Amino acid sequence: MDLRKLKTLIDLVAESGIAELEVTEGDGKVRIVKSAAQIAGIPMPVQPQILPVAAAPVAPPPPAPVAPPEAPGQVVKSPMVGTFYRAPAPGKAPYVELGQIVKAAEPICIIEAMKLLNEIEAGFDGVIKEILAENGQPVEFGQPLFVIA
């Protein structure tokens, strides 16, 4: 059915007292239905109207999550997405422990990404103040791993 015939049928239904019209032509089938408000004789507004509503009591917003205070020192962040490992191999001693002194070029953990083991270096001299990731757990890019002061 072409667009002109369809428009004509819509206009006929809108101007008449019928509520519904169904036309079958060949393989096509068209059904035009008036809305309930138009059938009852209530004119439908063209533009939505905004009506004033009595103000309901509003609950206070939930408190914003409080970030844990950052430990003084520099944070070593994950340079990639992968799995965090504290030791060079299962059963071996971890690269670093809390309170241990590290040098900038010293490896402090491994991140496995796509079956590759990437040693992560401290990046600066200092003492390991916090270990923020769990051994064997996935880490995201930029996720804090260690605090070194």
The conformation of residue 148, written as its DSSP 8-state character, comes to E
The conformational region for residue 73 under phi > 0 = left, psi -120 to 50 = alpha, else beta, is left
Helix residue spans in 45-85 (DSSP H): none
Domain assignments of the chain as residue spans, ordered by start: 3-39, 74-148
Contacts of 134 (CB under 8 A, 6+ apart): 84
| β-sheet bridge partners, residue 127 | 101
Q: pLDDT digits over 7-63, tens only?
A: 888 888 888 778 887 888 877 788 888 765 555 555 555 444 444 545 556 667 777
Q: What is the pTM of this model?
A: 0.52
CATH number listed for the domain at residues 74-148 = 2.40.50.100
CB 110 within 8 Å of CB 88: yes
